[in-house]
Chains A and B, each alone.
Chain A
Amino acid sequence: MKSLIFRTITPVITSVMMLFSIFVLLRGHNEPGGGFIGGLIAVAALSIYGIAFGGETVRRAIVFHPLSIAGAGLLLATLSGLLSMVFHVPFMTGLWVYPVVFGEEIPLSSVMTFDIGVYLVVVGAVTSIALSLEERGED
């Protein structure tokens, strides 16, 4: 899209939306949010970027092929479930660690890595769809 205003504002909007998507992802454990909705927000950010600068720019910006990102997310989610095998609890049991960094306790869990996996699957799959629609439109 050739609008100067749109092109100028897009990097700002995209970066804020990306940050917000990660905020929503991490907030998801105890409050509304999570990997799925966070992923969709990230896709919206990438789509705006793509409308402004074209699909090729987005592909360069995310480095990996969208479907590879989705695959990595799927693998991460499955491995988060399989981690329970080591601790002799059933598949997909939530496992927690509480490391203390600079005097601050940070709860980390396999639930969170699972959610990050979901986030990546959504980002990869839906970006792939959005990009192929965007590029088909330019033909």
Chain B
Amino acid sequence: MAASSSPADLSAALVLQPVAALDWLVILPVAWCISIGAILMMIRHKGVAQPLVAIAGLAVLVLLDAALLWHVAQGGPVTMVMGRWLPPFGIAFTVDLTGALFALTSAVVALVGAAAAIDDVNASGRRYGFYPFLLLLMAGVSGAFLTGDVFNLYVWFEVLLISSFGLLVLGGEREQIDGAVKYGFLNLVATTLFLITTGYLYGIFGTLNMADIAAKAPGLQAQAPLVTLTALYLLAFSMKAAAFPVNFWLPASYHTPRIVVSALFAGLLTKVGIYALIRVGVMLFPAEIEQLSLALAIVAALTMLTGSLGALAQNDTRRLLGYLVISGIGAMLAGIAIGGPEAIGGVIFYALHSMLVMTALYLAAGLAARLSGDFSLGPAGGLYRHYLLFTALSLMLFFSVSGLPPFSGFWPKVMLVKAAIDGGVSWLAAILLLSGFLTTIATGRVFLLSYWRPADAPAAAVPQPLAFTALLPLLVLTALSILIGLLPETLLNLVQQAASTLSEPSAYLNSVFPAGGAS
């Protein structure tokens, strides 16, 4: 079975050396998710088999992503070019440490979400295709983290967007449709802006390969409007990530779907926006993002403050958590605005922490609502009395999201504040700390009102049994947060390496163009 029998010189157009088996890890997470999603679509009516296949599939995905991370940590960035064409003409999947770390964390979140969904998604939700949508969402998320091509990044955004529409309207209730319309419209605007900007990018560079762009960008600064291009990307990805002036879609939609869907969205979707911002802003256009850094810092500060103040004002735990997601996004944007390997390392660390902890918090809110019967802070209360372990887990998560030691939220905040002070933007460091303080008050308020304070109506105080399996997803995520908080060295080293590869992408470039020079 020869690929071709023509006498032409193929080495000018094709990758001729055989692909090492381990390099397949670059594409396997995506191909695997699509395959399992397709199988789940075919067994849509088998309600019992669905979660089993999905959870087994996601467990394998975690292993694949872990192997990929190991492979990248050992040998540097890995590239595979689709269809054997040479880059930049073939679509490249290039994975560096940043992509691999994000992919692994997202897979863990999805696995936990799938397990939590056994309880939360009922038979009709399964028939409407919760699990196939989840797997296809993961295909989109993994693809976005692993691709090395700007247009391909756009395609994966579309894949995850369409799956997220499906997940949002799962119940088909009026409120959910309302939330989905707001979410869908604003995200479509952002995606269209992304596409238009990519059109400009192609017009300027004549290439969509990220490594090629990164190599050509410094030479084009004098002739091409690269700052405008970067500003447009910044706007598009800020909408995705829910940054301050363009974040109203998030509080309007994240409280409507099933809680496990909210948890997955809070963990995954906004972080894809942050990832895209890191990839395009920090790796492709570092000089241009530097010029925009003051604007970005102001946006970040406002995002942090509106997020944490909004959280203080809410009475519904789901809405409150939505604002905490926004506040975290502000902290990550602050890191991008500060710039430099240390701050970017903080951003990556913060994003990984936020994926785990925000998902856990939404799951905790779901459990709390199931136990007390309501999402609002008013009538709920007294959870502490009957559910000690659950209360302890929730308290740890509250500390973690507020950035208190010894949990995972502490280290990225330290890195960001230190980078801000070192970079001479002390006011941003002050706002980072202030927003952490406000978050502490907001989560403390939740803890006081729903957990600590005795319930208003003691008549309803017959405790429902809380199965250990229902707590397990929460337990896993909280344990990860504690583990990262207590033993941060490995992860700290990884994110520092990831950040330095982003700031100095020669290893990334070499992986795509082994000869050393761009085309």
Give residues in A with beta carbon < 8 Å to B: 65, 67-68, 70-75, 78-79, 81-82, 85, 87-97
Q: Please determine whether B38 and A72 come into contact, CB atoms closer than 8 angstroms.
A: yes
Q: Which 4 A-B pairs have the closest CB atoms?
A: A71-B41, A88-B18, A74-B38, A75-B38
Known contacts A67-B41, A71-B40, A95-B3; A78 and B31 CB within 8 A of each other: yes
Q: How far is the CA of A73 from the CA of B93 in the complex (A)?
A: 23
| Min CB–CB distance A59 → chain B (angstroms) | 14
Q: Please determine whether A90 and B31 come into contact, CB atoms closer than 8 angstroms.
A: no
Mark the stretch among B77-85, B98-106, B339-347, B474-482 that contacts chain A: B77-85
A71 touches which one: B1, B27, B38 (CB < 8 A)?
B38
Q: How far is the CA of A95 from the CA of B41 in the complex (A)?
A: 28
Q: Please determine whether B84 and A93 come into contact, CB atoms closer than 8 angstroms.
A: yes
Known contacts A71-B39, A71-B42, A81-B31; A95 and B83 CB within 8 A of each other: no
Q: Which residues of A contact B518 (CB under 8 A)?
A: none
Q: How far is the CA of A82 from the CA of B19 in the complex (A)?
A: 13
Q: Please determine whether A68 and B19 come into contact, CB atoms closer than 8 angstroms.
A: no
Q: Please determine whether A91 and B82 come into contact, CB atoms closer than 8 angstroms.
A: yes
Give residues in B with beta carbon < 8 Å to A: 1-4, 15, 18-19, 21, 24, 27, 31, 34-35, 37-42, 44-45, 80-84, 90, 93, 129, 132
A78 touches which one: B4, B15, B34, B40 (CB < 8 A)?
B34
Q: Please determine whether A90 and B15 come into contact, CB atoms closer than 8 angstroms.
A: yes
CB-defined A-B contacts under 8 Å, sample of 19: A67-B129, A71-B37, A71-B39, A71-B42, A72-B42, A73-B38, A74-B34, A74-B35, A74-B37, A75-B38, A78-B31, A88-B18, A89-B18, A89-B19, A90-B83, A91-B83, A92-B82, A93-B84, A96-B3
Q: How far is the CA of A91 from the CA of B31 in the complex (A)?
A: 10
> Which of B35, B37, B45, B80 lies at the interface centre, i.e. has the most chain A CB atoms within 10 A of its CB?
B35
| Min CB–CB distance B146 → chain A (angstroms) | 12
Q: Which residues of B contact A89 (CB under 8 A)?
A: 3, 15, 18-19, 84
Given A75-B42, A90-B83, A93-B83, 13 more A-B residue pairs with CB atoms under 8 Å apart are: A65-B44, A65-B45, A70-B41, A71-B44, A72-B42, A75-B35, A75-B39, A78-B38, A90-B81, A91-B80, A92-B82, A94-B83, A95-B1
> Which of A70, A81, A93 lies at the interface centre, i.e. has the most chain B CB atoms within 10 A of its CB?
A93
Q: Which residues of A contact B93 (CB under 8 A)?
A: 91
Name the CB-closest residue of B to A86: B1
Q: How far is the CA of A85 from the CA of B1 in the complex (A)?
A: 13
Q: How far is the CA of A96 from the CA of B6 in the complex (A)?
A: 13
Q: How far is the CA of A75 from the CA of B40 in the complex (A)?
A: 10
Q: Which residues of B contact A65 (CB under 8 A)?
A: 44-45
Q: How far is the CA of A37 from the CA of B132 in the complex (A)?
A: 25
Q: Please determine whether B3 and A78 come into contact, CB atoms closer than 8 angstroms.
A: no
Q: How far is the CA of A74 from the CA of B31 in the complex (A)?
A: 10
| Min CB–CB distance A78 → chain B (angstroms) | 5
Q: Please determine whether A85 and B24 come into contact, CB atoms closer than 8 angstroms.
A: yes
| Min CB–CB distance A23 → chain B (angstroms) | 26
Name the CB-closest residue of B to A110: B1
Q: How far is the CA of A117 from the CA of B42 in the complex (A)?
A: 14
Name the CB-closest residue of B to A68: B42
Known contacts A82-B31, A91-B31; A97 and B1 CB within 8 A of each other: yes
Q: Which residues of A contact B41 (CB under 8 A)?
A: 67-68, 70-71, 74
> Which of B35, B39, B42 lies at the interface centre, i.e. has the most chain A CB atoms within 10 A of its CB?
B42
| Min CB–CB distance A131 → chain B (angstroms) | 15
Q: Please determine whether A90 and B82 come into contact, CB atoms closer than 8 angstroms.
A: yes
B3 touches which one: A72, A85, A93 (CB < 8 A)?
A93
Q: Please determine whether A67 and B44 come into contact, CB atoms closer than 8 angstroms.
A: yes
Q: Which residues of A contact B37 (CB under 8 A)?
A: 71, 74
Q: How far is the CA of A75 from the CA of B84 in the complex (A)?
A: 21
Q: How far is the CA of A49 from the CA of B182 in the complex (A)?
A: 37
Q: How far is the CA of A87 from the CA of B84 in the complex (A)?
A: 12
Q: Which residues of B contact A81 (CB under 8 A)?
A: 31
Q: Which residues of B contact A96 (CB under 8 A)?
A: 1-4
Q: Which residues of A contact B84 (CB under 8 A)?
A: 89-90, 93
Q: How far is the CA of A67 from the CA of B133 in the complex (A)?
A: 13
Q: Please determine whether B42 and A92 come into contact, CB atoms closer than 8 angstroms.
A: no
| Min CB–CB distance A97 → chain B (angstroms) | 6
Q: Please determine whether B19 and A88 come into contact, CB atoms closer than 8 angstroms.
A: yes
| Min CB–CB distance B79 → chain A (angstroms) | 10
Q: Which residues of A contact B15 (CB under 8 A)?
A: 89-90
Q: Which residues of B contact A88 (CB under 8 A)?
A: 18-19
Q: Please determine whether B81 and A78 come into contact, CB atoms closer than 8 angstroms.
A: no
Q: How far is the CA of A68 from the CA of B41 in the complex (A)?
A: 6
B44 touches which one: A68, A79, A95, A97 (CB < 8 A)?
A68
Q: How far is the CA of A89 from the CA of B2 in the complex (A)?
A: 11
Name the CB-closest residue of B to A65: B44
Q: How far is the CA of A94 from the CA of B3 in the complex (A)?
A: 7
Q: How far is the CA of A85 from the CA of B20 in the complex (A)?
A: 9
Q: How far is the CA of A90 from the CA of B25 in the complex (A)?
A: 11
Q: How far is the CA of A79 from the CA of B37 in the complex (A)?
A: 13
| Min CB–CB distance A62 → chain B (angstroms) | 14
Q: Please determine whether A91 and B27 come into contact, CB atoms closer than 8 angstroms.
A: yes
| Min CB–CB distance A5 → chain B (angstroms) | 38
| Min CB–CB distance A39 → chain B (angstroms) | 16
Q: How far is the CA of A79 from the CA of B24 in the complex (A)?
A: 14
Q: Which residues of A contact B42 (CB under 8 A)?
A: 68, 71-72, 75
B1 touches which one: A72, A82, A87 (CB < 8 A)?
A87
